[in-house]
Amino acid sequence: MSWLESLVDDHIRRAAERGDFDDLPGSGRPIPGLDRPYGPGWWARQFVERERLAEAAREELDDIDRALGEIWPLPSESRVRSAVRDLNLRIEALNAELPAHRRAPPFEFDEIVDLWRRFGIGRRRT
């Protein structure tokens, strides 16, 4: 074993002892497609599938963004909180389909309500 392999093994061992590898995304689940043989163009099929998923996620996030715009004229805080809860449920469902690096954070109830109050948006009638 070379000095470089020993160094790498030592870093990996210390990281494992610190728990750096605990609770990684996908931990305990089988690797998708591991039981299928790789045929010609396997990488292209995976790329197309990832792009389809990414496009669907972008469309859903755009729709969520539009729905966020519908919160501002709501007349009461309870209705604002209910609408934010619904949006967060949609984000949670979307995140369940996405890899960890593409997930969207949920909205913070208090931040949205604070903006709604601060600008008096819900009290204005258009």
Residue 85 has which token pair? 């809860």
Q: What is the mean pLDDT of residues 104-112?
A: 93
Number of CB atoms found within 10 A of residue 87's CB: 20
Q: Given this model, what pLDDT does residue 88 score?
A: 96
Task: Quick: pLDDT tens for 16-25.
Answer: 999 888 878 7
The Cα–Cα gap between 125 and 115 comes to 17
Structural tokens at position 39: 């045929």
To which residue do tokens 């369940």 refer?
96
* pLDDT at position 36: 77
Return the closest-CA partner of residue 101 out of 24, 18, 15, 12. 24
DSSP 99: -
> Residue 67: which pLDDT band, with cuts at 50, 70 and 90?
very high
What's the pLDDT band for 1 if we cut at 50, 70, 90? Answer: confident
What share of the chain in percent tops pLDDT 70?
A: 94
